[in-house]
């Protein structure tokens, strides 16, 4: 291919005229390349601002050693390293190359970890004698690598685009349209709340209107009329954006259940004290009265402290008991011992104020230790052996509410996912939380529906739904293979890479100066970071100027 061909290779891309497959093509293209380009762009940003962020995070952690600050330092370092690895690869350094900046910060962080009684051996974090008086739990922070990744607006946009393309008919069930006219006072009155105060709540902390609306819907959809044979209780996927207070919404929903338990004890479900807001719906999840059980929050390690702090801001100290389930096998056995706080809570007449934060890596490890068969993915089957083998562990205990945060990260059918299916099967009311909107990739949404055991997503109905999705994907691929957008993308990457290498060779002996990007997407500055940044820009321009099929 000569230089003229280089200039026009991407402009002469094939057009897709079959609109039936256009959406599928967009989705598959987005999954294969667009998302990667977005990650490259974010990694470049990490390199540019990483040094300042690490400096600030290290200074803060060194001045006041807390779990939260140390976790932030590790996250910042990992985020920075992604960008540095990209820089190294683009400049020919390969995977083994490590910049002086990374070595510098790795040494400083290793030293700080050693002072806290942690070090890395054979890729695993192990305990050592601490040189600092306060020991912090860094092992799980590093091991839970999948959950260290932060959500971003760009990720959300990519997920939305893919789902719209597949158009699987998953409508966004906000579920609160019928409550839009209700003012705050109306909702409080409907629940029988005096001055809006919920059981166990702090007087100075009240839910916002949208939180109370969401909590109202979460709880009311969990009840059914026992005389209606077609009524189905519904779990919840709470997909509010970042910053809307999903955790607070869940706590308010839990408080509403506590409130109903009090009424249930007074008069019984459906008695004179039963609330008009529920009417004839007196059966909780179709099982009868609300059971008195603890609730579990399944969270990434990096969110454990944040969850504890958030719960403290909502609930009075003596009105609940917060337990954390994490650590080694011996620590887990101690948690479940006969005289443990958890066992004492179960023996109490009111175990429902007991809240257990479960770290997802611990959950995965415990489930893996059971060595159970995989079960069937499409039906969300939990192996029957689980209910006997896990009877003495937390994962096998029933709970009032099971809350699984970052549910969009539980999409792969692996040990972690099967552990989530198992512990959520023991929860009466199941709630998944995600900052990713409901418009996500169809199969990701299917995975989340299985986790909360929504009836349309499990058993025979779940298998049928999975077949429908797979058939549409296969149909799209058949119409997609004859006109391959992937070939065009590969051509674009190849041409850009060749031009990048030529520019780099030609500028090797010249002073490093900023240059204008060429039509094929590279910079003449000689800086691989600038060159890759220009590659991103040029690809975006090509999307707009060339084949409109790529546009969102």
Please count the CA atoms within 13 angstroms of the CA of 312 that sit on its side-chain side. Answer: 7
CA distances from 319 to 308, 391, 538 (A): 14, 28, 58
CB 43 within 8 A of CB 82: yes
324/254 Cα distance (integer angstroms): 18
Task: List the pLDDT tens digit at each of the 552 positions of the chain.
Answer: 444 444 444 344 444 445 555 555 555 555 545 555 666 666 666 566 676 777 777 777 777 766 667 677 777 777 667 666 665 554 444 444 456 767 777 777 777 767 666 555 554 445 555 444 333 333 333 333 333 333 344 444 444 444 443 333 334 444 677 787 888 888 999 898 888 888 999 988 889 898 999 999 999 999 999 999 889 899 998 887 777 889 999 999 999 999 999 888 876 665 667 888 998 999 999 999 999 999 999 999 989 999 999 999 999 998 999 999 998 889 999 999 999 999 999 999 999 999 999 999 999 999 999 888 888 888 899 999 999 999 989 999 999 999 999 998 888 889 999 999 999 999 999 999 987 654 456 677 788 889 999 888 889 888 888 887 777 666 655 544 444 554 554 555 556 556 655 665 665 544 433 333 333 333 333 444 444 445 545 555 555 544 333 222
pLDDT at 96: 44
Element (H, E) at 327: none
CB 450 within 8 A of CB 462: yes
193/3 Cα distance (integer angstroms): 75
DSSP letter string, 494-509: HHHHHHHHHHHHHTTT
At residue 99's C-alpha, the angle toward residues 94 and 104, to 5°, is: 145
Please count the CA atoms within 13 angstroms of the CA of 211 that sit on its side-chain side. Answer: 20
Two structure tokens written together for 256: 């509403």
CA 12 to chain centre: 39
Strand ranges (DSSP E) for 71-168?
Answer: 118-121, 124-127
536/530 Cα distance (integer angstroms): 10
pLDDT at 194: 82
Q: At what angle do helices 304-314 and 246-267 cross, to 10 degrees?
A: 50
469/466 Cα distance (integer angstroms): 5
Rg, Å, the chain Cα set: 27
**Antiparallel, parallel or unpaired: β 118-121 and 124-127:** antiparallel
Two structure tokens written together for 34: 């667009």
Residue 10: Cβ within 10 Å count: 25
Please count the CA atoms within 13 angstroms of the CA of 385 that sit on its side-chain side. Answer: 7
Two structure tokens written together for 307: 């969850």
CA 485 to chain centre: 30
Which among 476, 474, 483 has a CA at the least distance from the CA of 547?
483
Please count the CA atoms within 13 angstroms of the CA of 370 that sit on its side-chain side. Answer: 28
**Antiparallel, parallel or unpaired: β 124-127 and 223-224:** unpaired
At residue 536's C-alpha, the angle toward residues 1 and 493, to 5°, is: 25
CB 49 within 8 A of CB 7: no
CA-based end-to-end distance of the chain? 31
Residue 402, helix vs strand vs coil: strand
Residue 310, helix vs strand vs coil: helix
DSSP letter string, 41-66: HHHHHHHHHHHHHHHHHHHHHHHS--
105/81 Cα distance (integer angstroms): 10
301/144 Cα distance (integer angstroms): 6
Which among 528, 481, 483, 484 has a CA at the least distance from the CA of 503?
528
Residue 9, helix vs strand vs coil: coil
* pTM for this predicted structure: 0.58
pLDDT at 444: 75
């Amino acid at each position: 291919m000569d230089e003229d061909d280089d200039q026009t290779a991407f402009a002469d891309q094939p057009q897709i005229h079959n609109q039936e497959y256009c959406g599928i093509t967009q989705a598959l293209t987005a999954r294969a390349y667009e998302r990667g380009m977005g990650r490259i762009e974010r990694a470049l940003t990490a390199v540019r601002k990483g040094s300042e962020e690490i400096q600030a995070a290290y200074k803060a952690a060194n001045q006041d050693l807390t779990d939260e600050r140390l976790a932030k330092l590790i996250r910042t370092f990992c985020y920075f390293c992604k960008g540095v690895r990209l820089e190294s690869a683009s400049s020919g350094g390969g995977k083994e190359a490590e910049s002086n900046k990374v070595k510098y910060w790795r040494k400083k962080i290793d030293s700080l970890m050693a002072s806290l009684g942690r070090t890395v051996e054979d890729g695993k974090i192990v305990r050592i004698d601490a040189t600092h008086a306060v020991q912090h739990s860094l092992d799980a922070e590093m091991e839970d690598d999948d959950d260290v990744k932060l959500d971003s607006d760009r990720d959300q946009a990519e997920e939305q685009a893919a789902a719209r393309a597949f158009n699987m008919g998953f409508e966004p069930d906000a579920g609160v349209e019928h409550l839009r006219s209700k003012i705050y006072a109306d909702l409080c009155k409907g629940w029988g709340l005096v001055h809006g105060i919920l059981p166990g709540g702090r007087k100075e902390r009240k839910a916002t209107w949208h939180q109370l609306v969401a909590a109202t819907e979460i709880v009311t959809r969990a009840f059914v009329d026992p005389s209606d044979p077609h009524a189905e209780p519904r779990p919840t996927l709470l997909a509010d954006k970042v910053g809307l207070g999903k955790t607070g919404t869940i706590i308010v929903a839990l408080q509403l259940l506590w409130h109903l338990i009090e009424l249930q004890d007074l008069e019984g479900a459906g008695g004179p004290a039963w609330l008009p807001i529920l009417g004839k719906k007196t059966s909780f999840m179709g099982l009868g009265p609300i059971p008195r059980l603890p609730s579990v929050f399944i969270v990434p390690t990096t969110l454990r402290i944040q969850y504890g702090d958030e719960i403290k801001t909502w609930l009075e100290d003596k009105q609940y008991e917060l337990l954390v389930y994490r650590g080694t096998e011996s620590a887990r056995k101690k948690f479940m011992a006969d005289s443990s706080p958890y066992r004492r809570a179960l023996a109490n007449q009111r175990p429902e104020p007991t809240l257990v934060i479960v770290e997802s890596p611990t959950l995965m490890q415990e489930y893996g230790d059971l060595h159970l068969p995989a079960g069937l993915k499409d039906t969300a089957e939990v192996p029957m052996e689980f209910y006997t083998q896990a009877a003495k562990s937390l994962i096998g205990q029933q709970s009032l509410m099971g809350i699984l945060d970052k549910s969009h990260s539980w999409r792969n059918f692996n040990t972690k996912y099967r552990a989530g299916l198992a512990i959520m099967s023991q929860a009466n009311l199941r709630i998944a939380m995600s900052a990713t909107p409901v418009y996500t990739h169809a199969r990701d949404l299917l995975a989340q529906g299985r986790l909360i055991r929504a009836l349309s997503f499990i058993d025979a109905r779940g298998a049928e739904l999975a077949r429908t999705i797979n058939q549409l994907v296969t149909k799209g691929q058949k119409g997609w293979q004859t006109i391959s957008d992937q070939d065009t993308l590969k051509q674009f990457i190849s041409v850009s890479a060749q031009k990048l290498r030529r520019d780099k060779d030609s500028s090797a002996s010249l002073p490093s100066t900023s240059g204008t990007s060429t039509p094929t997407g590279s910079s003449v500055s000689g800086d691989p970071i600038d060159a890759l940044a220009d590659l991103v820009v040029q690809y975006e321009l090509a999307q707009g100027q060339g084949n409109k099929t790529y546009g969102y």
